[in-house]
Amino acid sequence: MGSEAAIDEQRNPYLDLIRVLAIAAVVIGHWIASGVTYKHGEFDGVDVLGVVSWTSWLTLIFQVVPLFFLVGGYSNALSWTRHQSAGGSAFTWSRRRALRLLVPTATYVAVVSLAVVLSNVAGADHGNLEQAAWALSLHLWFLAVYLVLLLLTPALLAAHRRYGVKGLAATTAVAVAIDIGVIEAHWHVVGWVNYVLVWGTFHQLGFAWQEGFFTGRRGRPFVLTAGAIAALVALVWWGPYPVSMVGVPGARIQNASPPSAALLAFGFAQVGLVLIAAPSATRWLARPHRTRLRALIGRANAMTMPVYLWHMVPVVLVTVVAYPNHLLAQPSIGSGAWWAQRIGWIATLTIVLAGVLALVVLIASVLSKRPRRMLPRPALPRSAAMVLFGIGVGLSVATLGRLAVQGFAPNGALDVVTVAAFAGGTLLVIVAGPRDPELVGQSPREQPTATGQSPANAASAPPVVVAGRLGLAEPRAPAPPRGAG
């Protein structure tokens, strides 16, 4: 308890470790599930879960999205509390955090969009291009949901402090009720609400963890874990839910789209196990002779956003180069030879991803050192800035969701309207800088750059940190005034 509190004043490496392990699971899971065939000049993407039924059990290992929202809730609660203690407003906090998410995402969207256009100009097959562009967009759904929860954090945290676990119980109950309606009454439109309710429940668990509800009370995580496992077994064994915690093509019930009661129980169990391990793991990581390990975890954590955004790019690059040139064999998906090939497949993709990230880091580092001109723009009244910000976030969320569902090139050509709308939404968030006391007096050198840092600090920061601060990795926030919070 003491060591956990002390280390959290700087940065909790246990949170970083959770995020690093979770991103590794997501990447490997996506790579394994990417079954690709190439015949007669045509590529075909095959979901391994739909071909090899027993792989559904692997999703109990690789489905770790609940942990991203848990850690996100913890980090957002801590960051917002410190910002509020320093006299900051919810608007400026939300805008800065949104930009940390949107700027790197906009860069990724721009690069992929350009690649789609160039591929069309080069005469790429429309069917192949559509599949490749969808593979590069399927993971963007997470960013849309996370952005919504980020925007709601000040209000949700205030509600959590007032109602405590009663709020968690309420969101859980409503989510289960909606899930029943989706299954029994086909509430497909209403079911979309569960993307916010279910993932938001894990986000709120992060609030509870950060505020000490589980700290020093070993019984609570055990009760949460035991109850969740019992509920999950009942829902899968006796209930109608499949064992796969991600979507399976053709399945009558999809646990992840929208998130179901079974996924909710699974996430509670996963969170409970993490909470059970928290005291011991935090003390172990806090030992003085593990300074290098903590630094390594911190550097890896700084790269979680770039890794998440770009991890499907190697799949497309390796596929379009290796298969037409017969550099990779094509054993039957699910066969022993195919599984043996996965070892080389993952190793190759890891090397290519390292190269892609090195290029991203290099470009971010070069851009961060370039002198920036502050373009003049009219000072907006706070109310107008908030309206622009709301519209910008709404456009960004809607377009990220559309890209995740339909891909960048749903008909073999770039979805210009959606990409342009996302760019417009991001631009609105950027220009929605209010003229308020929190920003008045900041010199151009103190204004945040596209990398989330001030130009003065960005120039001396290691490139890995510059790239990492383009997204989910949480930088060290200044400690609140003594006695605050």
79-98 per-position pLDDT tens digit: 999 999 999 899 999 999 99
Q: What is the mean pLDDT of residues 412-425?
A: 95
Distance CA 414, CA 404 (A): 14
Q: Determine the pLDDT at residue 355.
A: 96
What sign results for the dihedral spanned by CA atoms 17, 365, 346, 29?
Answer: positive
Distance CA 329, CA 322 (A): 9
419: phi > 0 → left, psi -120 to 50 → alpha, else beta; which? Answer: alpha
First and final C-alpha spacing in the chain: 18
Q: What is the mean pLDDT of residues 421-447?
A: 66
Distance CA 21, CA 60 (A): 14
What rounded mean pLDDT belongs to the chain?
A: 84
Q: Determine the pLDDT at residue 374.
A: 55
For residues 340 and 51, the model is more confident at 340
pTM: 0.85
How far from chain centre, in Å, is Cα 271?
17
190-237 per-position pLDDT tens digit: 989 999 999 999 999 999 999 888 887 678 999 999 999 999 999 999
244-299 per-position pLDDT tens digit: 999 887 778 889 889 999 999 999 999 999 999 999 999 999 998 889 999 999 99
Q: What is the mean pLDDT of residues 106-135?
A: 92
66-83 per-position pLDDT tens digit: 999 999 999 999 999 999
Q: How far is CA 436 from CA 108, 383, 390, 433, in A?
A: 31, 11, 17, 9
